[in-house]
Amino acid sequence: MISIAASSCDGTEPDEALSNVSGTWDARFEGTVTGRGTRQTDDITMELAQSGSSVKGNLRFAGLDMPFPLSGSVTGNRFEYRSSVTLDGCELRVEAHTVVDSSGRRFGGDQTQSSCEGMASGQVEATRRG
């Protein structure tokens, strides 16, 4: 008897379906600023395009008229992304590890946001538009 094991080039099993995160998402981040203990809440719009497991797009924070380029990846139902931009000499960074729900209409998980003013750690929840 011959046994054959198959896997794809990106490390996922062939029968492991990738969640689709393409589209526009409305997200909300709620966290705590490290060292200060103050709450931070941000409303974010995400415009995402997915090709296989690779994701590219933009984050747009309410109140900032500037897109943050985003890159990320999807493995099964896990969606991880990161973004950074320099604004007025300060690097602003976002990193998240999230899970897409079975409907494909929501995702949520851990997110950190850092700037020259400090780092906030918390949760992000997003809902697909349309």
Chain segment 61-120, per-residue pLDDT in tens: 999 888 999 999 999 999 999 999 998 899 999 999 999 999 999 999 999 999 888 999
- DSSP 8-state secondary structure symbol assigned to residue 66: S
Rounded Cα distance between 21 and 1, Å, is 41
- DSSP 8-state secondary structure symbol assigned to residue 80: E
* Residue 35 belongs to domain spanning: 23-128
Q: Is residue 18 part of a domain?
A: no
Q: Is residue 61 part of a domain?
A: yes
One-letter amino acid at 44 equals: I
The CATH number linked to 112 is: 2.40.128.30
| 20: helix, strand or coil | coil
Rounded Cα distance between 103 and 92, Å, is 32
Total number of domains constituting the chain:
1
Predicted TM-score (pTM) of this structure:
0.84
Model pLDDT for residues 46-58, shown as the tens digit of each residue: 999 999 999 999 9
